[in-house]
């Protein structure tokens, strides 16, 4: 399963780099427009430094990713993404194998980290509005005994739907919050990025 984790994280990194301009364009509508650039630089460093990470356990890899992103990305994005990966690592602990329950625990750890460091909750038009319901769908699907591909497909569909739903919300965090009601009708860049990443991992998994 450590191999699977490597596959997923590298797919995320590649996808972020491919969508750098798109993510920044989304963020530029009501934000400061540097979201795509910032996280792309972080994952660029992740790929560059990959061999230096402690790969004896999955959590070692995640901690390496967390530290790299935190040091390479300034501002809120670095803190949020770094915290998400670090909390995922903490949820895993010293385990060498990752179960389906561990996957959910990792996501829940990341969610709690984002809530705390981002000072945000559901309804604030942030990553959480896509990530939380998507993880709930995954947990339910795993409990029903669905295959990994089925779970990923359901997660992708949910993430896309919830990312689109941010269009009708008022931004309450970040630079976009200063635009007030003008943020209604715009998509939350973090939520869209979350959906794009779920879809990329799903498609890559199918091809493996």
Instruction: Using a pLDDT cut of 70, give the percent of the chain over it.
Output: 90
Domain boundaries, the chain: 2-207
**pTM beyond 0.85:** yes
Spatial contact of 42 and 72, defined as CB atoms under 8 Å apart: yes
pLDDT tens figures, 142-158:
999 999 999 999 999 99
Answer yes or no: is pLDDT of 167 > 50.
yes
Answer yes or no: is pLDDT of 181 > 60.
no
Answer yes or no: is pLDDT of 26 > 60.
yes
Q: How many CA atoms lie within 13 A of 116 on its CB side?
A: 11
Q: What is the CATH number of domain 2-207?
A: 1.25.40.340
pLDDT tens figures, 51-83:
999 999 999 999 999 999 999 998 888 999 999
């Amino acid at each position: 399963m450590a191999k699977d984790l490597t596959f997923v994280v590298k797919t995320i990194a590649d996808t972020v780099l491919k969508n750098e301009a798109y993510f920044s364009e989304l963020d530029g509508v009501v934000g400061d427009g540097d979201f795509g650039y910032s996280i792309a630089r972080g994952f660029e460093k992740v790929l560059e430094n990959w061999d230096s990470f402690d790969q004896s356990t999955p959590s070692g890899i995640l901690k390496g990713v967390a530290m790299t992103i935190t040091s390479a990305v300034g501002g809120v994005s670095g803190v949020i993404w770094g915290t998400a990966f670090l909390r995922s690592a903490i949820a895993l602990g010293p385990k060498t194998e990752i179960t389906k329950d561990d996957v959910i625990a990792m996501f829940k750890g990341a969610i709690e980290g984002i809530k705390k460091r981002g000072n945000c909750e559901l309804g604030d038009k942030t990553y959480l509005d896509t990530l939380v319901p998507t993880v709930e769908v995954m947990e339910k699907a795993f409990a029903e005994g669905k295959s990994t591909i089925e779970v990923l497909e359901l997660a992708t569909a949910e993430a896309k739907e919830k990312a689109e739903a941010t269009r009708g919300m008022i931004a309450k965090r970040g630079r976009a919050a200063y635009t007030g009601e003008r943020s209604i009708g715009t998509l939350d860049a973090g939520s869209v990025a979350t959906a794009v990443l779920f879809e990329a991992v799903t498609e890559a998994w199918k091809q493996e």
